[in-house]
Structure 1
Amino acid sequence: MKKITGAKIVLETLKYLGVKDIFGYPGGAVIPIYDALYDFKGINHYMTRHEQGAVHSADGYARTKKVPGVCLATSGPGATNLVTGIMTAHMDSIPLLVITGQVSTSFLGKDSFQESDIIGITSPITKNNYLVRDICDLPEILKEAYTLSKHGRPGPVLVDIPKNIQEQVVDYSLFEILLKKDIQEMRKFKPTYTDKEIEEFENYFNSSKNPVLVIGGGVLNARCVEEVREFINRTKIPVVSTLMGLGIFNKDDKGYLGMIGMHGLIEANRAVDECDLLICVGMRFDDRIVGDKKRFSPNSKKIHIELDKAEINKNIVVDLPIIGNAKDIFNRLLKLDLKVYYESWRESLEKVDVFKERELNQITTLKMLNEILDENYIVVTDVGQHQMFTAQHLDIKKPFQFCTSGGAGTMGYGLPAAIGAQIANRDKKVLAILGDGGFQMNQQELILLAQYNLPVKILIFNNGALGMVKQWQELFNEKRYSSVILDVNPDFVKLGNAHFIEGEKIDNVDNLKRLKEILENDKPYLVDIQMSYKHNVYPIIPAGKSYEHTIGGE
C-alpha cells in the first residue's frame, strides 16, 4: 500500500490550501521537509540567506498579495531568528503561516542540540501556535493554522513539527481522508453592535459641526475601501489616515488631509485636534498616534469601529464603540440619513503644497518619484527617517501599494519584504526605499535578486547616519550624537555589483531625472542617493506630547 511521510504531508497540505510560494532556510530539524521539496511539484521554495529574510519576505508577500505568507525554518536558532519577523507581522495584523522544525519528540525538554521552546517564545506574538505530536494531526493542524491566520483579525500562526513526525509514514489513503476532513469549525466572530449603536452613530454624526474620519489598516483587512470612499464622498467630511491606512485615499481625493501622528502632516493633526467628532475605523490608538492621552482630540466625542474588541478602550476611552466587520458596518451607515454639508470645515483645513527646494534631499527625491510612479508600482520601505518622509510626501495611489513595518518599526524589513512583494506580484514593479542603516541589517538578501531574476529597484537614502535616532538626539539630547553617525559605510554600488546587481550613485539634484530610466528597465538595480544627515523629518510631535507641541512644519 502506498505510504506518505509527514514531510510530504506538509507539502501536500500546503498545496491543497493553494499555497504557491514559501520562503525558508534549511537546517537539521527540517531536512526531511527539504528532502521532500527536492522534486515536489506545485510549490516554489525561495531560499533566503537568513531566517529573518524568510519571514520578512513572507510578510511582504502577504501584505501585497492579500493571502497568508508562508515561511519555513529549522529548530533552535533557526526558529528564534524568525521571532522579529513574527512580531512585525503580529503588530501590523499580517497573516503568516510559520512552520518550524523541532527536535524529535523523545528529545523534547532535555536541552537537546538546537532545541528551543519556540511555542513558549512566540505565544505572546502569535494568534495561536501548535506543537505536532501525532502525524495524523498534521493535515488538520496545518489547515486550521492557515485558516486562522486570515480569519477575523489577521496575524501570524506557528506550527512546530518534530523531526521524527516528519519522518514517520502513514498509508496514503488515510492521508487523503485526513486531508479532506473538515477542520474544527472556527469560533464564529459575532459582531456585538446592534441597531441601537447604528442609531447612536446617526445622532452623534448629525449633531456634530466638525467631524473627522480616521482610517487605519483594518479598513484594508476588511476590504471595505469602496464603502469608506463612498461615505466620504457622500458626507463631505475630512479624512485622515494612520501609517497603515495609506493608499486608501490619495492626494487628489477631495478632503483627504494625509497621515496623522508623531510625523503626521500639520493639517491632518490639526483636524484631529480641533474636531468635535472623531470617527476611527480599524485603528488602535497607538502611542505614535495619540501622544498625550489627556490632550488627544480633547474636544471630540469619539466613535471606534473595530473588529477586535480587545482594542476597545485599551488606549483611549471612546464614547461609542461599534464592534464588528467594518464593511458590514459601513453598509449600514450608508443607509442612514446623514448630514452632508461639511465642505466649509473641510476646506478650512486643506493646505497648498509650496515646497520648492532644489537641494538633493529626501523630499526632492520623493517629489521626483511622484512624477514617475504610477498605479503599477508597489513601494516598500525600511524603517526610519526615509520611511516617514515617504509616508508624508510620496503619493500612494492605491490600496496595498505601500508596504512598511508600522507597529514594530523593524529595521532590516525593507529589502526582504520587497523581495516577497515582487515574487507575489510578478506583473508589478517593486521599489524598495531604504536607509543606509536598515539596508545593512539584511543586505545579504541582495543575492536573491540575481538568483531569482527579480527586477526590484533599490533606492538607498544614504545620509551617513541612523537618521531617526540622530534626530532625537539632536532635538532632545543636546546634539550628543552617540553611535548614530555612520562614518564608514560600504560602497553600496560595489556591494550591489558583488551580488551581480548593477547600480550607480546620485549626488546632485539634477541627476534625479535618471530615476525615470532606471525604474523603467526590467532588471534589478541599486541607486545610492547621497544626502546630508542635516535633514530632519518634520513636523514632529515629541513622544508623549500633544498637537500644540508640534516642532517644525510651519
Structure 2
Amino acid sequence: MKGSEITIKCLELLGVEVVFAYPGGQAIELHQALSKSKMRVVLPRHEQGGAFAAGGYARISGKVGVCMATSGPGATNLVSGIADAYMDSIPTVFITGQVPSSMIGKNVFQETDIIGVTRPIVKHSFLVLDAKDIPQVMKEAFYLAASGRPGPVVVDIPKNIQQQRVEFNFDVPMSLNYYHPDPVFDPADADRIRAMIAASKRPCIYAGGGIISAGASAELVKFAESYNIPVVTTLMGIGAIPEKHPLSLRWLGMHGSVYGNYAANECDLLLAFGARFDDRVTGNPQKFATRAKIVHVDVDDSEINKNKPADLGIVANIKDVLTALNEKPMRREYADWFARIAEWKAKYPYNSYKTKLNHVQPQFVIQTLSRLTGGNAVIVPGVGQHQMWAAQYYDYSFPRQLLTSGGLGAMGFGLPAAMGAKVACPDKTVINIDGDGSFQMNIQELGTLFVEEIDVKMIILNNQHLGMVAQWEDRFYNYNRGNTVLGRCKGANGKGAGKHCDGCDGTICTGLPYPDFVTIASGYGIPGRRVFTREELEPAIEEMLACDGPFLLDVYTGYDEHVLPMIPPGGDYTSIIME
C-alpha cells in the first residue's frame, strides 16, 4: 500500500469517523486515499477553520479531533488552532503534507518546517521518513493526544513517503517508554486531604477544566455534597457542577462572580482540582488565596507549584482522587462559613445589570436564549465581551456545554468550533454566540455549514466594536479609540472621527449595522434575521430555533455595555469593579 493509503487506513482502525481536511499539492495523495474511505471528510473553507472545527469536535465529544492540511501555508494556517488545543488541553491530531524529504531544508515551493514552527505548542510531533513507520506513528500520536493531560500532536508526512509502497502492518507495538501518562495515586494522599479538611473551618473547591477532561464531574458533585464544601469553577470548568446547584458559586476570576472570588480568596483551605492557577483566575498570584492552605491535584506534574505554591501537591488523575475521597465522606455544616457566603451573595448578586429599554442589551439576549432553550443548548462563543456574557448569563448544567477558547483566547474560534461540535453531536442544539469582530475572522465557514448541511445556530452580538479592547480603552486609556471601531460610525466616545450613518445620534448608533451579516449569510444560502429592539428578540430566537438548518441572528446591541464585574489586570479581588 502507499503511505497515504496506510495513513487513512490507520485512521479508520483507530476509530476516526470525521476528518476536517483541506487539500493541496503536498496532501493530494492523502486526499486521494480519503476519497476511497468511508470516513466523513468535512471540507472547511480555510485551514484555520478546520483546526478550530477539529478542536470543537474534541471538546464536545472527548474524542480525538483530526485535521489535515497541505505543506507551507496550509500547515501554518493551522497554528492558531494547534495553539488553542495546546492551551486548553484538547486531544487533537494534525496531519500535514510536506515537500519530498530530499527537498526539506532547501526552501522549495510551499516548504515550511512545521515541526519547528509548532514545537512550543504541541504535546509531541512526528516527521515521518519511512512509510513503514506510519502505523506506529499514528498509534502513538493518538495515544499521546488522548492520554494523561490531553493535547495536540502533529504528524508531518513528506509527499514521497505518502507515495512510497510498503507492506501494511498495523500490529506494531508503540515505543513510548519515556511517557508515563497515568501517575499512580497513593491512597495515603486521600487521608492527607481529609486531615486538612478536618482542620479547616472555611474550605472551598476550585475546579478547573481537568475535571471535565477526566470525566470526573459526577465524582466532583458527589464529593462536594458528601463533604458539604462550596465549589467555584474556572471558565474551562463551567458545567462541572450545575450552576444552579446550592453549592455552586459559579466561576471565578477577572469576570467571574464576586462571591465566588471572595470565597476562593477568604477560605482557609483551597482544594484546587484539575486547575492551573492561570492569571485570569489569580490576578497577581502572590495576592491570591493568601489565607488558605492549598491542595493542588493535577495529572501534569509540571503544574504543581508552577504558578502558586501548594501545601500539598498531588500528581494524579483527579477522578481517582475523588473516587477515593468519596469512599469515606466527611460532612460538616460550616454554619459560619456558609453564612458569610450568603451575605456576599445578597450584597453582590450574580447576573445583575441595569436594564435599559431603549435597545437590546447583550445580557438580555443571553438570558432570553437560556430561557427559550431551557438551558439545554451547547454554547460556543467567539472571544471577547460576548464570550464573557455567554459564560455569565446562560445557565449551564452539564459538562462540555460551554466550549470556549480559554487559554489562547483566539478570535475566530466560535463559528468553526461550533461547526465541529455539531458534526460530533448532531442531536444537540449547538449555538455560536459571537461578536461582529470575532465572527468575521472565519466568516467563510458559512459556506461549509451550507454545503455540509451542518445545523449551527448563530447569534451575533453586534456592537460595531472590538468590544473587549474598547472596554479596556474606556477603563484604562481615557476612552481613546486605538483602531477598535469596526463600523463606519465613530459615535459612543469615538471622537466623531467617522461618518454617522442614518439614525445615529453620535452616541448609540441606531442605523443599519455594517457589514450586513444577514445579506452575507443569504449569499451562502443561509437564512437570517436582524434584531434591533427587545420586542423583536424573542420571536427571532424562536424562529432561529425552529429553523431546520443553520440560521443567523444579527442582534444590534449598540456599544454602551461593559462586562462586569471586572478585576483590573494585575489586581486582586479587593479591587473588583462592579459598576
Q: TM-score, normalised by structure 2?
A: 0.92
Preserved CA contact (<8 Å) 2:187 2:324: no
- Asked whether the 8 Å contact 2:182–2:317 carries over to 1, the reply is no
Q: 1:165 to 1:252 in 2, by over 3 A?
A: same
* CA displacement, residues 3-52 of structure 1 (integer Å, 9 cap, x when unaligned): x11111111110000101001111110111112222x1321111111110
Determine the C-alpha separation between the residues in 2 that align with 1:343 and 1:497: 58
What is the one-letter code of the residue matched to 1:284? R
> Is 1:57 paired with 2:53?
yes
* Corresponding residue number in structure 1 for 2:527: 502
Per-residue CA distance 1:244-267 (angstroms, 9 max, x = gap): 000112232111011100111111
Q: Secondary structure at the match of 2:256?
A: coil
2:172 to 173, 181, 192: 181
Cα separation, 2, equivalents of 1:396 and 1:161: 41
1:550 aligns with 2:547: no
Q: 1:143-196, CA deviations, whole angstroms, 9 ceiling, x for partnerless residues? A: 1101110011000000000000111112xxx30xx2122323563335365344
Matched residue SS, 2:313: strand
Q: Work out whether residues 191 and 325 of structure 1, in 8 Å CA contact, stay in contact via their aligned partners in 2.
A: yes
CA contact (8 A) 2:149 2:181 kept: no
Identify unmatched segments of 5+ residues in structure 1. Answer: none
Q: Find the residue that maps to 2:226 and give its secondary structure.
A: helix
1:357 and 2:348 aligned:
no
Structure 2 partner of 1:298: 290
1:203 maps to which of 176, 187, 195: 195
One-letter amino acid matched to 2:550: P
Q: SS state of the match for residue 27, structure 2? A: helix
* 1:381-530 mapped onto 2 (5 Å cutoff): 381-488=381-488, 489-514=514-539, 515-530=541-556
Structure 2 match to 1:131: 127
CA distance in 1, matches of 2:434, 2:11: 33
Aligned length: 544
1:316-364 deviation per Cα after TM superposition (whole angstroms, max 9, x unaligned): 0111111101011111112335242135523532425565725311111
Distance in 2, Cα, partners of 1:254 & 1:211: 15
Q: 1:247 to 1:337 in 2, by over 3 A?
A: closer
Label 1:340 to 1:524 Cα distance change in 2 as closer, same or farther (>3 A).
same
Describe the SS at the equivalent of 2:263. helix
Give secondary structure in 2 for the equivalent of 1:72: strand
Does the 8 Å CA contact 2:384/2:435 hold for their aligned counterparts?
A: yes
Structure 1 window deviating more from structure 2 (488-497 vs 305-314): it is 488-497
In the other structure, the counterpart of 2:216 is 224
Aligned match of 1:333: 325
Deviation at 1:375, TM superposition (A): 6.0
The aligned counterpart of 2:90 is: 94
After TM superposition, give the deviation of residue 268 of structure 1 in Å. Answer: 0.6
SS at match of 2:441: coil
* CA offsets 1:271-293 (integer angstroms, 9 cap, x no match): 11211111111111111111112
Unaligned runs of 5+ in 2: 489-513
Does 2:109 correspond to 1:113?
Answer: yes
What CA distance in whole angstroms lies between the structure 1 residues aligned with 2:334 and 2:390? 30
1:157: which partner in 2?
A: 153
Partners in 1 of 2:411 and 2:61 — Cα distance? 22
Aligned residue for 1:504, secondary structure, equals: strand
Equivalent residue for 1:214? 206
Q: 3-state SS of the aligned residue for 1:500?
A: coil
Q: Distance in 1 between matches of 2:139 and 2:245?
A: 41
Q: Secondary structure of 1:512's match?
A: helix
Which 10-residue stretch deviates more, 472-481 or 350-359?
A: 350-359
| Match in the other structure for 2:239 | 247
User: How far off is 1:544 after superposition?
Assistant: 0.8
Cα 1:548–1:333 shift into 2, 3 Å: same
Tell me if structure 2 keeps the 8 A contact 1:375–1:398.
no
Deviation at residue 520 of structure 1 after TM alignment:
2.7
Answer whether contact 1:269 1:547 (CA < 8 A) is retained: yes
Task: Give the 3-state SS of the residue equivalent to 1:180 in structure 2.
Answer: coil
> Equivalents in 1 of 2:393, 2:339: separation in Å?
20
Q: Please, what TM-score do these two structures have when normalized by structure 1?
A: 0.96
Q: 2:299 aligns with which of 288, 307, 315?
A: 307
Contact between 2:220 and 2:241, CA under 8 Å: does it hold in 1? Answer: no
Distance in 1, matches of 2:90 and 2:262, equals 30
1:272 aligns with 2:298: no
Aligned to 2:228: 236
C-alpha distance in structure 2 between counterparts of 1:192 and 1:24, whole Å: 38
Cα deviations across residues 65-93 of structure 1 (Å, max 9, x unaligned)? 11000000000111011011100000000
Matches within 5 A, 1:60-79: 60-79=56-75
The residue that corresponds to 1:540 in the other structure is 566
RMSD: 1.5
**Counterpart-to-counterpart distance in 1, 2:135 and 2:313:** 39
